[in-house]
Amino acid sequence: MESKTVNTLKAHLALNVKDVEKSIEFYRLMLGLEPSKVRTGYAKFDVQTPPLNLTLNENSFNERGALSHLGIQVGSTEDVLAMRERWHAAGLRTFDEMGTSCCYALQDKTWVADPDGNEWEAFVVLEDNLPETSPCECGEKTTEAQTPIEAQASASCCAGDATAAGVAQVSAPVATETSAAETSPDISQFADCGPADCCAPTAVKITR
């Protein structure tokens, strides 16, 4: 039997938020557009590029649940930097990872976080389908503009020799933190992700 072609319009993402007004302001700046619908405790953004139906639902909650992070894949490192500049110009605090190994791929990326700690990355895949034995790209590229950081992560993420406490001391990826408005959320928790725990944010200490 011949299958019928489905007219797929766009993906839908519904996020629980604690304060819908704060979240509306963040996503207005991040996406560069106005919400298409706003009601009490609810907002909807109709994003055209990439196609996305994003809704914000105000609810009280204490934990983030199973959500790891969210992202927008772009075509080049120049596009990543353009997204970063747009976010920074809007007053959002950004955090860069360049030449980092994630999801068995070599990537350049920049991050922002919304008021509830949901992390968004704009990223480009530079090299895909890396073998499982590929080493993590941790701190191998450094420029004067980059901020050195120190991180603690589990042995599955760019693991080095385990400490006595059973926690591996690792070098974080090339990263640059860009300051913005004081009201922007703190995203200093971003750190490198190894293949086993892809893109799982880990607390990092920023050394200025």
Whether residue 208 is found in the same domain as residue 105: yes
Does residue 155 surpass a pLDDT of 70?
Answer: no
Q: Which domain holds residue 15?
A: 11-59
Q: Give the mean pLDDT of 13-33.
A: 97
Q: At residue 117, does pLDDT exceed 80?
A: yes
Query: How confident is the model at residue 175, as a pLDDT?
Result: 54
Looking at the domain assignment, is residue 77 inside a domain?
Answer: yes
pLDDT at 15 over 70: yes
The tally of domains found in the chain comes to 2
User: Is it the case that residue 92 has pLDDT exceeding 50?
Assistant: yes
> Same domain, yes or no, for 51 and 124?
no
Instruction: Verify that 54 and 72 share a domain, yes or no.
Output: no
> Per the domain annotation, does 3 fall within a domain?
no
How large is the average pLDDT for residues 153-178?
A: 37
- For every residue of 112-126, DSSP letters joined together read EE-TT--EEEEEEEE
The answer to whether residues 158 and 97 belong to one domain is: yes
- The mean pLDDT value of the chain amounts to 74
Span 48-65, average pLDDT: 90
104 shares a domain with 25: no
Kindly list the distances between the CA atom of residue 165 and the CA atoms of 90, 152, 154, 192, 201, in Å, as whole numbers in the listed order. Answer: 42, 12, 11, 21, 20
Same-domain pairing of 176 and 106: yes
Q: What value does the mean pLDDT take over residues 83-108? A: 95
